[in-house]
Amino acid sequence: MTSSTKNVAFIGLGVMGFPMAGHLANAGYTVTVYNRTSSKSVLWLESYAGKSAKTPALAAQNADIVFICVGNDDDLRQVTSGEHGVLQTMKPNTILVDHTTASADVARELSALCESKQIGFIDAPVSGGEAGAVNGQLTIMCGGPSDVYENVEPVMASFARFSKLLGEVGSGQIAKMMNQICIAGVVQGLAEALQFGQNAGIDCESVIEVISKGAAGSWQMENRHKTMLQDHYEHGFAVDWMRKDLAIALDEAKKNGSTLPLTALVDQFYADVQKMGGNRWDTSSLLKRLV
């Protein structure tokens, strides 16, 4: 399919979807976009070549591949299997790629619907935040059949630096849950270390310069310590979104018998941040509740 893929649709022009769809347009694909708030589609068309549609179904009707990046399971169901969803018009032998961070259950549900219509399906949540989307440097975690993945991987490369097929449908979502579990623990540890250093009266910038080169180093330390020390949280991945993702992970943990005590604790710390009015602050705002 990739050699002949011309027409793609992108459903959801949020913080991530807007630039991702733009990379597809810049790569030479004919892109039709849909967004629930139509003004976002208008804005997108001012920046990129393509067209917009009034419903997901209309956006998808001529697409070889349909990409989706929306808010949650319910949003996903609405734009896929709803009255005006993409599955109303997608043709056999086309592919649906879901970049939403959602549950593994809804991924399997969508896969079954697609299979009944001879449509390929890949669950493909992303990591890298807004900066990764804008710079075309996302990491994509995928679940689904290998032949479907092989068809979409070169197209996803328009906005990704790395993608990998991790197993059957749902594997991508499980991997994203693991990703968020790791981030929650790392950010809390960084927040505590910075508070500890500030209380001790040491130059935290200088300390981070040293310890970031050793075993304590992380992406969060490298990219967020300065803004945390500056009390600047108006960027990156919002607390509301992180709590949504952690709720998905904690729910999945109940199903598979895992215990996530640290994740549950940090989730409550994020609830504290929300009570402080930090719903849209970046996830690094865990430091804010300590100082």
User: Which of 51, 91, 117, 176 is labelled catalytic?
Assistant: 176
Task: Let me know: does 168 contact 123? Beta carbons within 8 Å.
Answer: no
User: What letter does residue 142 receive in the DSSP assignment?
Assistant: E
Task: Provide, rounded to the nearest whole percent, the portion of the chain with pLDDT above 90.
Answer: 96
Is residue 1 very low, low, confident or very high in pLDDT (cuts 50, 70, 90)? very low
Q: Is the pLDDT of residue 3 over 60?
A: no
Q: Please enumerate, as own/partner, the contacts of 109-116 that have beta carbons within 8 Å and a separation of 24 or more.
A: 110/76, 110/80, 110/81, 111/144, 111/169, 111/170, 113/80, 113/81, 113/87, 114/87
pLDDT in tens, 151-205: 999 999 999 999 999 999 999 999 999 999 999 999 999 999 999 999 999 999 9
Domains and CATH numbers, the chain: 7-168 (3.40.50.720), 174-289 (1.10.1040.10)
pLDDT number for residue 235: 81
176 counts as catalytic: yes
Q: Is the pLDDT of residue 4 over 70?
A: no
Average of per-residue pLDDT values in the chain: 96
Using DSSP, state whether 285 is helix, strand or coil. helix
Task: Let me know: does 181 contact 249? Beta carbons within 8 Å.
Answer: yes
- pTM for the model stands at 0.94
